[in-house]
Structure 1
Amino acid sequence: MGVPILLKQVLVTGATGMVGRSLVNALLKKGYCVRALVRKKVDEDILPARVEQVTGDITDAASVCSAMAGVCFVFHLAARLHVNNPSPDQKEQYQGVNVTGTLNVIEAASSARVDRIIFFSTISVYGAGKNNQAVDEGSETMPDTLYARTKLKAEQLIDQFCADRSGAPEVTILRLASVYGAGVKGNYRLMINAVQKGGFIFLGNGNNCRTLVHEEDVAAAAILAAEHPMARGKIYNVTDGTTHTVKAIVGAIARALERQPLELHVHETIIRAILNLLELSLFQGLPGVEKIGYMINKMNEHVAVRGEKIQQDLGFVPQWGLDRGMKQALKEGRSKP
């Protein structure tokens, strides 16, 4: 017989983020002993008292090693996350956390003879889609942001490490769709705020696609990837099983908030004219110009990704559709202090 789950020690990096907290709660519910590598200890409203908190930094190899003792699974979420139009001086931070930090994790896990690492990557490694065509795990990667490039570099580092080292831990890579939940941030938080205020401006007709996944579905997929023998060495996209237009997402947010926002549409020709204008040398160097152009491009791009592989291989069944997920996320988000 194998070791009972309640005796298995797992390590979670990035445990204090939205996805990390959902994963920690799911692991505790299943009976795992959970250890979290944190930069500073947090209160019980962030991580339950049953979680063993080990202070350290993902970029410091020694602190990663100290957290790894006796661990069977590592869930590596810690990352320098996506920000809109990062400045050039942030490149070193992305490299340090996303690439060097991942190397520290896999080297420490190898030395500690960890069974499996679940590495959380992103569908952003595929880049923006073309004509709403959905891509899968075999599609070409064309990352177009600093965040996506460093996450793909970390994936490649993992592949090379496992190829070069005998006895290296098994690794499963999860490429997450845009994750939403009670602590959602970024562009989706901007969308929610706009609907709450009574209006939303669509850049184009709103039919460009997005691929999403609820935080609790991510946690379920990650545990499956750790426990299932077929997940060894695989890459999986993790989605809610479908793609959604921006118009549908705004509609789900409005229904969750019980609002009927005013919808304004900016024609694509006007969008292109604005972008062309912003590219003129007359405007270069003005505060906010690059950020505006970047935001327009991101809001108007297609991101459509297929998630059938993890469903077929591991039996993963997403539980959170868009309407149910938004209602739960926004309800819990409003109840938080």
Structure 2
Amino acid sequence: MNSHPPKNQNTKAPKNGPILVTGSAGFIGSHVTRRLLADGHAVVGLDNLNEYYDPKLKSDRLALFAKHQNYKHVTGDLADRDLIEAVFDKHQPKRVVHLAAQAGVRYAAENPHVYVSSNVTGTLHILEGCRQTGVEHLVFASTSSVYGANTKMPFSEHDSTEHPLTLYAATKKANEMMAHSYAHLYNIPSTGLRFFTVYGPWGRPDMALFLFTKAILAGEPIKVFNHGKHRRSFTYVDDIVEGIVRILKKPPKPTEDSTKTPKNQSTKTPDPASSRVAPYRIYNIGNEESVELMRYIEVLEKELGKKAKMEMLPLQPGDVPDTESDVTNLTEAINYSPQVNVEEGVANFVKWYRDYYKA
């Protein structure tokens, strides 16, 4: 697993020009960056190192690879148009992994303008940079939250996502539509990945596993929403990274068969997962095995050797009871198959947490 820095960092000559990774000091972005560097790629990392959560955690992630000979870092904000233009102009990236965003579903209710500035305006600046430099493939982060009010399980990319329940989800849905329009207008091969409940070492402090671990070790109660009646496609970060790295090598093409005929209609409608008019694809990326939240907590209790005190609470506004990922399309495209179950993944996180916080 990738919970610790590689002992022997790859020092091969970079392959095929630099890859721009936005959010390179973030949870998923730092794991992706380390993997790309280990594979011999040159990486330009962009991160604003903001204070949404402890900046030290971001700095420590960055320190794992900041001195790698094939890594160059830019500290700056996606919403800074001049900066993003300068990054593309100077480094001329061939491929882009766009992971930077204002994260957190619930934080959006308190700071909506931050989400639009980062997730919408910032993504526009990335798309413009891709257009100006003729990027060969843009892979960008979306989220399972776009499924919103959809209750059909498992969630499929071929289903409608017209009813997001949070502003965060709405900004990510906007990103998907913006990417399609740019793919069509400027022939920018673009792939969106809808992440499902990613967890693992170096995770964000506002995520459930992090919050639960901290509270249980301190003897404090954990907040269990919807009275624990949740199911989630918990996905270990290494499985996410593997999918990103593989799909980055496969820029999409327009698909002639990307229409479907609903049973109650006689005319064909566009398939949300692909496009006849643009090099564009959307994929779910997650674990097909959906796990009950209470089971997740049980695994954590076992690893910590301590029982949790639980404060049972109702469903939060904008939250969905269950998620379940259909990854059939991604499996067909890149032979995607998550390898890490929750027992192994939670154990890896707890080991990292104890090491990092001397807990």
- Classify the TM-score, shorter chain: 0.7 to 0.9
Query: 2:192: which partner in 1?
Result: 173
The alpha-carbon distance between structure 1 residues 264 and 20, as it changes in their structure 2 partners (threshold 3 A), is: closer
2:216–2:222 contact (8 Å) kept in structure 1: yes
For 2:108 and 2:346, locate their aligned partners in 1 and report how far apart those are by CA, in whole Å. Answer: 28
Query: 1:59: which partner in 2?
Result: 79
2:137–2:251 contact (8 Å) kept in structure 1: no
2:192–2:283 contact (8 Å) kept in structure 1: yes
For 1:125 and 1:170, locate their aligned partners in 2 and report how far apart those are by CA, in whole Å. Answer: 21
For 1:94 and 1:204, locate their aligned partners in 2 and report how far apart those are by CA, in whole Å. Answer: 26
- Correspondence 1:26 to 2:62: no
Offset from partner CA, 1:19-39 (integer Å, 9 cap, x none): 111001100111000111233
- Of 228, 234, 249, the match for 2:250: 228
SS at match of 1:169: coil
SS at match of 2:112: helix
Query: 1:290: which partner in 2?
Result: none
Amino acid at match of 2:44: R
Q: Which has the higher helix share?
A: 1
* CA deviation after TM superposition for structure 1 residue 153, in Å: 0.8
Query: 1:286: which partner in 2?
Result: none
The alpha-carbon distance between structure 1 residues 242 and 67, as it changes in their structure 2 partners (threshold 3 A), is: same
- Of 312, 316, 340, the match for 1:294: 316
- Of 183, 189, 193, the match for 2:202: 183
- Correspondence 1:76 to 2:98: yes
1:224–1:314 contact (8 Å) kept in structure 2: yes
Query: 1:238: which partner in 2?
Result: 285
32-41 or 245-254: bigger deviation = 32-41
2:191–2:252 contact (8 Å) kept in structure 1: no
The alpha-carbon distance between structure 1 residues 61 and 255, as it changes in their structure 2 partners (threshold 3 A), is: same
139-148 or 182-191: bigger deviation = 182-191
The alpha-carbon distance between structure 1 residues 125 and 203, as it changes in their structure 2 partners (threshold 3 A), is: closer
Query: 1:133: which partner in 2?
Result: 153
Give the TM-score normalised by the residue count of structure 2: 0.76
- Of 119, 129, 150, the match for 2:171: 150
Count residues in correspondence: 303
194-203 or 184-193: bigger deviation = 194-203
- CA RMSD in angstroms comes to 2.7
Amino acid at match of 2:92: G
SS at match of 1:110: helix
- Of 45, 62, 79, the match for 2:63: 45
* CA deviation after TM superposition for structure 1 residue 199, in Å: 5.7
* CA deviation after TM superposition for structure 1 residue 77, in Å: 0.7
- Correspondence 1:259 to 2:281: no
Give me the identity figure in percent: 24
* CA deviation after TM superposition for structure 1 residue 129, in Å: 5.3
Unmatched tracts of structure 2, length 5 or more: 1-12, 50-57, 254-278
SS at match of 2:228: coil
* CA deviation after TM superposition for structure 1 residue 15, in Å: 0.6
* CA deviation after TM superposition for structure 1 residue 100, in Å: 1.1
* CA deviation after TM superposition for structure 1 residue 303, in Å: 2.2
SS at match of 1:294: coil
The alpha-carbon distance between structure 1 residues 86 and 202, as it changes in their structure 2 partners (threshold 3 A), is: closer
1:195–1:253 contact (8 Å) kept in structure 2: no
Query: 1:117: which partner in 2?
Result: 138
For 2:92 and 2:81, locate their aligned partners in 1 and report how far apart those are by CA, in whole Å. Answer: 17
For 2:64 and 2:139, locate their aligned partners in 1 and report how far apart those are by CA, in whole Å. Answer: 22
* CA deviation after TM superposition for structure 1 residue 203, in Å: 4.9
1:37–1:64 contact (8 Å) kept in structure 2: no
1:128–1:302 contact (8 Å) kept in structure 2: no
For 1:195 and 1:5, locate their aligned partners in 2 and report how far apart those are by CA, in whole Å. Answer: 44
SS at match of 1:144: coil
Give the TM-score normalised by the residue count of structure 1: 0.81
Unmatched tracts of structure 1, length 5 or more: 272-292
* CA deviation after TM superposition for structure 1 residue 56, in Å: 2.9
2:47–2:100 contact (8 Å) kept in structure 1: no
Query: 1:102: which partner in 2?
Result: 123
2:182–2:188 contact (8 Å) kept in structure 1: no
2:231–2:322 contact (8 Å) kept in structure 1: yes
1:115–1:170 contact (8 Å) kept in structure 2: yes
